[in-house]
A and B are shown apart, each in its own frame.
Chain A
Amino acid sequence: MEWLQINYNYLLVIVLLMIGLWAMIGKNNLVKKCIGMCIFQNAIIMFFISMGAKAGSTIPILNYTKVNGVKTYFTEASMYANPLTQILMLTAIVVGVATLGMALTLVQKIYSEYGTCEEDEILKKIG
């Protein structure tokens, strides 16, 4: 139970990875495959963010206190969530949306070519 309290985020990551993988491989509709792809990528991003988070952590920016109108700046490294993983994931989100755009464009092209978005019907038409 204690393990679960610390690691429940990773459990969610695994559940989402499995859902995404199942949708990408097992679903028949191409748009559903794209949704599965997004969920899959999101799960990986979730994994990276969970890796950098701490209980009660805060955003890594410069903090200050104001005493009699004088600002004193200070940092408290131990309170910060790991910014490295967050920055990495900014890139990953953008990459994910680019891939999604590509995939959905292809879905529309496939629809105009075959008149359907169901994989089995397309395969039947290809023969």
Chain B
Amino acid sequence: MIWPYDFGLLLLVVITAILALNLRDLMGASIVFGTYSFLMCLLWTAMAAVDVAFTEAAVGAGVSTVFFIATAYNIKKEAKD
């Protein structure tokens, strides 16, 4: 683990988490959430949990994002908060 790299990732994870929750546009929120999952999987690669990382890349960043986009596609895209 490289210190600055790790710290930057941690910061980005928190920023994307808050951003995904605060974006009004649901489609945008889904994309940002996908980014969040992908950053998580980078963190886990850095922690030598490679199998978890690629499961997360496939399932978390892949399938989950597809689910979110499919939902956002079917419903009203503007959220109130």
Report the separation of the CA atoms of residues A81 and B45 in the bound assembly, to the nearest whole angstrom.
11
- A36 CA to B71 CA in the complex, in Å? 15
Q: Main secondary structure on chain A at its contact with chain B?
A: helix
Q: How large is the interface on B (under 10, 10 to 19, 20 to 34, 35 or more residues)?
A: 35 or more
Interface size on A, residues (CB 8 A): 48
Q: Is the CB of B48 within 8 A of A29?
A: no
Residue of B43, B48, B64 touching A81 (CB-CB under 8 A) = B48
With A19-B17, A23-B21, A46-B40 as contacts: A31 and B71 at CB distance below 8 Å? yes
Closest Cβ of chain B to A32, distance in Å, is 6
A13 to chain B, nearest CB (A): 10
The yes or no answer to A55 lying at the interface (CB within 8 A) is yes
Flag if A116 contacts B76 (CB, 8 Å). yes
Using a CB–CB distance below 8 Å, which chain A residues touch chain B? 8-9, 12, 15-16, 19, 23, 27-29, 31-32, 34-36, 38-39, 42, 45-46, 49-50, 52-53, 55-59, 80-81, 86-87, 89-90, 93-94, 96-97, 100-101, 104, 107-108, 111, 116-118
